[in-house]
Structure 1
Amino acid sequence: MSEPQQSGFIAHLVELRNRLMRSLLCVLLVFVVLVYFANDIYAFVAAPLLAHLPANSQMIATDVTAPFFTPFKLTLFVAIFAAIPFILHQVWSFIAPGLYQHEKRMLIPILLSSVLLFYGGIAFCYFVVLPIVLSFFTGIGPEVMTLTPDISSYLGFALKLFFAFGIAFEIPVAIMLLCWSGATTTASLKQKRPYIVVGAFVVAMFLTPPDVLSQTLLALPMLLLFELGLILAAFYSAKSPQEEKQ
């Protein structure tokens, strides 16, 4: 590697480090702002469960430190989720100088839509999926049983669902990128639709808790989003490698 190339490589590493540090600092600042409301944030996330608990039931903590650390853990995840637009902006600022003009015009709306879809997936999970799933599980047990869920276990359950639905809602963006880059075509994806249906349920099985209801509630939106991705991808085609920067 020549000296100019080595200097350029080091400069890229320094810039990458600076942008990573800015992203971490943003997460830390958001966390510091939200940490005062840690208990309120946990109460908001636990509201769908509390709404379906029997009148004589309440949540418990089986670990001595859980009442302190569990809300803090949730607040950290909320800070990361809230900082995603800034983090993506840092990613964009790092890669944008090496992109063609048509690539910039393509990726800007994709980055924005990916953020909105991720948040949309979390909102869909909180307002639609959690009430259905929790209503099913809290009502299926024997009457002699008193349900007293652990706060840490519920947090892990909820975060896993939030993450699964947030990622699953990125399917239209993934399909658009694949078709736009030339890796595949909408016609090819349509031919593979039966395999994709099976794959959606397999992916849902790994991303959600081990129950058929959660898996189905994730797989069905994934299939609908796949169809939406095919519609949107039809407006894009692979760009010629001969296109030059403007």
Structure 2
Amino acid sequence: MNRLQTSIYYLQELKYRLAYAIFGTIFLFSTTYTYKQGLIFIFLPKGLSHFVSTGLTEIFFTYLQICTIFSFSFGLGITLTQLYLFLRPGLYAFEDNTIFNLLITAFLFYTCLYIFVFPIIVKVFWELFSTYSQNFTAIDLTFEPRLQDYLNHLQQLNKALTLSFPCLITLNIIQIYTNRQTWVKYRGIAYITAFSIAAFITPPDVLSQTLIGLPFIVFYEIQLKVWSLHEEYKKQLLVG
């Protein structure tokens, strides 16, 4: 009977945790939809005065898309936090500290990423590709950006940035059970794996796959370089 009561208690707590996550996501969606126009203005390139819309329902579904992305992104964080709080009483002390530090690190990582790095990347990409329309002098070419296309490019960039933290964690876990020579030997396989993942989660075009696969390769090379520098540092300590 005690075991049955304990099971019912944990099922009720799990139900409450899931309810918190669901209602939190719904609240985020309603909030972002209320301020949907201001939310889009945050991502507008500097100096752009208008966007073009070619469909009757395009603006509505664009608003719906950006609000859904925001709410589910933050809702995922709420869900993981509630899952951690549910599992916390049954964890060992070192497991509790590891998961807690991982959640705090992920929160700080994504906060800095989207506050400081994301606007810079968007600005660089916009200035880089918009110059082609300004310097095209063979014919009279007018560049009128479409809202849906612009947000789709931002969404692809967001995918690359969102997957960056799990990529770093996975590389660190693999690093524990391998050595640097193995990473160098199978570098080509890592490149193929990165573009295979990019092809799986992006539309079938080269630009989208490059935007997703290239950061994976960059993280791989950065991890390899940091690993090499760390080994050299340990050798100098032993010599000293």
After superposition, give the CA deviation of every residue in 1:56-99 in whole Å (9 maximum; x if it has no partner): xx412222233334224313322333444433210211222332
Match in the other structure for 2:39: 41
1:104–1:155 Cα change, 3 Å: same
Cα offset for 1:106?
Answer: 1.6
Provide structure 2 residue ranges, at least 5 long, that are not aligned to the other structure: 231-240
Q: How does 1:145-224 map to 2 (within 5 A)?
A: 145-177=141-173, 184-187=177-180, 188-189=182-183, 191-207=185-201, 215-216=209-210, 218-224=212-218
Paired residue secondary structure (1:107): helix
Identify which of structures 1 and 2 has the higher relative contact order when contacts are C-alpha pairs closer than 8 Å and 6+ apart.
Answer: 1
Paired residue secondary structure (1:169): helix
Q: For 2:58 and 2:36, locate their aligned partners in 1 and report how far apart those are by CA, in whole Å.
A: 13
After superposition, give the CA deviation of every residue in 1:26-64 in whole Å (9 maximum; x if it has no partner): 12223333333210111222x13x64x6x8xx4122222
Match in the other structure for 1:244: none
The TM-score with structure 1 as length reference comes to 0.69
Q: For 1:86 and 1:126, locate their aligned partners in 2 and report how far apart those are by CA, in whole Å.
A: 22
Is 1:98 the counterpart of 2:90? The answer is: yes
Which one-letter code corresponds to 2:146 in the other structure?
Answer: D
Is 1:74 the counterpart of 2:72? The answer is: no
User: Which of 3, 18, 22 is the aligned partner of 1:20?
Assistant: 18
Which one-letter code corresponds to 1:175 in the other structure?
Answer: L
Most deviating of 29-38 and 139-148:
139-148
1:157–1:6 Cα change, 3 Å: farther
Q: Indicate the structure with greater helix content.
A: 2
Match in the other structure for 2:219: 225
Cα offset for 1:22?
Answer: 0.5
Q: For 1:153 and 1:122, locate their aligned partners in 2 and report how far apart those are by CA, in whole Å.
A: 20
After superposition, give the CA deviation of every residue in 1:98-137 in whole Å (9 maximum; x if it has no partner): 3222111222111222233344554576324333333444
Q: For 1:209 and 1:130, locate their aligned partners in 2 and report how far apart those are by CA, in whole Å.
A: 20
Q: For 2:173 and 2:63, locate their aligned partners in 1 and report how far apart those are by CA, in whole Å.
A: 37
1:209–1:124 Cα change, 3 Å: farther
Provide structure 1 residue ranges, at least 5 long, that are not aligned to the other structure: 236-246
Confirm or deny: 8 A CA contact 1:168 1:222 kept in the other structure.
yes
Paired residue secondary structure (2:145): coil
Which one-letter code corresponds to 2:171 in the other structure?
Answer: I
Q: Give me the CA root mean square deviation.
A: 3.6
Aligned-pair identity (%): 24
The TM-score with structure 2 as length reference comes to 0.71
Q: For 2:209 and 2:10, locate their aligned partners in 1 and report how far apart those are by CA, in whole Å.
A: 42
Q: For 2:175 and 2:6, locate their aligned partners in 1 and report how far apart those are by CA, in whole Å.
A: 32
User: Which of 59, 63, 83 is the aligned partner of 2:55?
Assistant: 63
